[in-house]
Structure 1
Amino acid sequence: MKYSKTGQFTANQEKLCKEIAIRISKLRKSGCCVFGKGDKLRVYKTKDMEHAQPLDISTGSDYKHALKCLNAGSINDSGADDSEYFEKGYITEE
């Protein structure tokens, strides 16, 4: 296949893509963030993500308290890890 023949999206595909972008923008404005995790789009509360523990700092993760999220559909692959956990000490009661 020639490169010039790739990426020729239909008008409907472009419209659908714009709709997704608009909805993601609205989610972000409402206090959420959207991540690609494995083969899923996941929506987290932005405030919760401010207290997430990066996986490269494995000694500070609270593995008893995963961040709650919404599944926003399947994707092919994000190339990212699948779970987020709060930093130790952020959750003080059940």
Structure 2
Amino acid sequence: MREKGYRYADPYAAAGAAKWNGARTPSALEIATATADVACQQRNRLVTTWFAAEKRIEEEDIRQHREYFRKLRDAKEGNVRAARALLARTR
């Protein structure tokens, strides 16, 4: 973005900039900014990088809290079984 003359604090700041709020249609500047933003994100593999980082964090959380997540899974499965039984009775 900087090489195109834009200055934003983070990768999502351009899309969320307050100056774009309220317009019924995007201005030429907004379209140019969005085009540069998408090209920058693609060139820098933002989505791939962000996904990999989040995946590592989540997998570590799962490893550290295995029992907690097992209990959540079991509770969800129990809720689904109860809902299916209830639905079966109302048909």
Looking at both structures, which has the greater relative contact order when contacts are Cα pairs under 8 Å and sequence separation is at least 6? 1
Q: Tell me the TM-score range normalised by the shorter chain.
A: 0.3 to 0.5
TM-score (norm 2): 0.33
TM-score (norm 1): 0.32
Higher-strand-fraction structure: 1
